[in-house]
Chains A and B, each alone.
Chain A
Amino acid sequence: MKTDYLKEFLLFVLLILTQVLLLNRISLFGIATPVLYIYFLLKLPMGRSPYYVIISGFLLGLIIDIFLNTPGMNATATTIIATFRKPILLLFYGRDIHDEYVPSIHADASPFIRYTIFIVLIHISLLFFIESFTLFNLMNTLIRIAVSFVISTPIILALDSLTFRKKPGEQA
């Protein structure tokens, strides 16, 4: 149990560093940026208390904002995702999974992929719409959302298939 929290904290820090120092310097075709840090919220165990999920989601966004000088932008998006994570999980996994269950591509690929696509799409849409609140045309924003989504999702799925491998049958 303790090691779970430690692992989550390490993931939290690593994802922020990767996002800020590496991914945000990538600007594909000048319009799209891979957004990876939301992976942290994807991987929290099913039964985590909503307070824990919401507060960690908020902190995740806030720290990213501090580094990127976009006060409130990422924080708004991640807090909204964190709030609706549980209903979304139930939507794709059904009610019969236990509280310790960590969503993973190894355990059950199909719902995990659908769940990831759904969350990443909402998150990136929120992010880019908030970013372009006052300025710029809708078409531009939609293209940015589409391209960022298309590059972010495979990165997240690939990352998940590389890490947190557990032998089948072993309890999480």
Chain B
Amino acid sequence: MRNLFNFIIRNSHWLLAILLIAFSLYLLFDNNPYQRSVFLSSANRVAGWMYSASNSVVSFVHLKKSNQLLMEQNAAIESELVQLREQLDTRLVADTTGMEAVIPDSIGKAQFEFIPARVVNISYSGVNNFITLNRGSSDGVKPDMGVISQRGAVGVVSNVSDNFAVVIPLINPKFRVSAMLKNSENYGSISWDGNSLSEVQLGELPKHEVYQEGDTVHTSFSRIFPKRIVIGFVSSIGKSRDDNFSTFNVRLATDFYSLQNVYVIKDSYYEEQKVLEEALLQ
């Protein structure tokens, strides 16, 4: 018995090592993003604060490019505004002479709201890519909300703390979203093969799908994104896992290297739709 105790005492640092390694492995494989505590991710207060501090320096480097983008977007919105105004004018004239029996709701409830956020950290050095945003639950951000940039889809919120949120981007192998070509009715699934930060794969499309290089790929049915959010553009035909479906390589619309400003999409009907759909599953 005494020998046993001696043995344990003499080798207890091995026991400690085994315990700690076991704990690390537990963290490693217990990767359910919803169960994982916010404390152990970059959404925690200290990490988030440090990332914002360093980002306030780094963002100067991208200032020129961001400005350019904002101006482009401004121009696009401006032209859309003019167009809509014209349409509205013509409609108003036509409508007043038209049917009056049905009065449409004058202020329809907007389904989607956009919460502007800034990227405080982005990792793209490995397989586990993620983005940290400077908006959290106190700004109304919740897990499962979609995130877009001025150019296109970015990812989905996974963890949220009071002031920060962690986003799983399109360039993460865990990310899946349903998508379709612009001029088609078939939808497939977007995934990432880990090879390039500017390309994702659109798979599970029927073999007969017609495509041209440069075709726009946008979201289809999804609880995360509204319909018709641009994801990217077809660049080439990719390797298929089996012969029944084809896979396309898609050049991403969002440039993850210089991502600074994003919008988190708040869907006011999200809960309602989720409850309804999940009631069926039970």
Chain A: residues with CB nearer than 8 A to chain B?
Answer: 20-21, 24-27, 30, 33, 49-51, 54-55, 58, 61-62, 65-73, 75-76, 79-80, 82-83, 130-132, 135-136, 140
Contact between chains at A65 and B27 (CB < 8 Å): yes
For A21, the chain B residues whose CB sits under 8 A away are 50, 54
Contact between chains at A27 and B128 (CB < 8 Å): no
For A33, the chain B residues whose CB sits under 8 A away are 125-126
CB distance from B32 to the nearest CB of A (A): 11
> B226 near A: Cβ within 8 Å?
no
> B81 near A: Cβ within 8 Å?
no
Pick from A30, A49, A55, A69: contact of B41, CB under 8 Å: A69
CB distance from A100 to the nearest CB of B (A): 20
Contact between chains at B24 and A58 (CB < 8 Å): yes
Contact between chains at A79 and B42 (CB < 8 Å): no
Contact between chains at A75 and B24 (CB < 8 Å): yes
For B177, the chain A residues whose CB sits under 8 A away are none
Which residue of B is nearest A141, CB measured?
B127
Contact between chains at A68 and B20 (CB < 8 Å): no
User: Which of B10-18, B206-214, B227-235, B260-268 lies at the interface with chain A?
Assistant: B10-18
- In the docked arrangement, what's the CA distance between A90 and B20, Å? 23
Which residue of B is nearest A77, CB measured?
B24
- In the docked arrangement, what's the CA distance between A132 and B40, Å? 21
Chain B: residues with CB nearer than 8 A to chain A?
Answer: 13-14, 16-17, 20-21, 23-31, 36, 39-42, 44, 47, 50-51, 54, 123-128, 130, 166, 173, 194-197
For A51, the chain B residues whose CB sits under 8 A away are 13, 16
- In the docked arrangement, what's the CA distance between A117 and B26, Å? 29
Of the listed residues A25, A61, A72, A80, the one surrounded by the most CB atoms of chain B closer than 10 A to its CB is A72
Known contacts A75-B24, A130-B28: A24-B125 contact under CB 8 Å: yes
Known contacts A61-B24, A72-B25: A55-B125 contact under CB 8 Å: no
CB distance from A60 to the nearest CB of B (A): 12
Q: Interface on chain A toward B: helix, strand, loop, or mixed SS?
A: helix
Contact between chains at B125 and A26 (CB < 8 Å): yes
CB distance from A152 to the nearest CB of B (A): 13
> Given A25-B123, A71-B36, 7 other A-B contacts at CB below 8 A?
A20-B50, A58-B24, A67-B50, A75-B24, A75-B27, A79-B21, A79-B24
CB distance from B9 to the nearest CB of A (A): 12
- In the docked arrangement, what's the CA distance between A27 and B28, Å? 23
Of the listed residues B47, B125, B173, the one surrounded by the most CB atoms of chain A closer than 10 A to its CB is B125
For A66, the chain B residues whose CB sits under 8 A away are 39-42, 44, 47
CB distance from A162 to the nearest CB of B (A): 23
Known contacts A51-B16, A58-B20: A72-B28 contact under CB 8 Å: yes
Which residue of B is nearest A75, CB measured?
B24
Known contacts A68-B123, A69-B42, A69-B123: A79-B20 contact under CB 8 Å: yes
For A130, the chain B residues whose CB sits under 8 A away are 28
Pick from A26, A49, A71: contact of B31, CB under 8 Å: A71
- In the docked arrangement, what's the CA distance between A62 and B28, Å? 11
For B54, the chain A residues whose CB sits under 8 A away are 21
- In the docked arrangement, what's the CA distance between A48 and B195, Å? 42
Of the listed residues B16, B28, B124, B195, the one surrounded by the most CB atoms of chain A closer than 10 A to its CB is B28
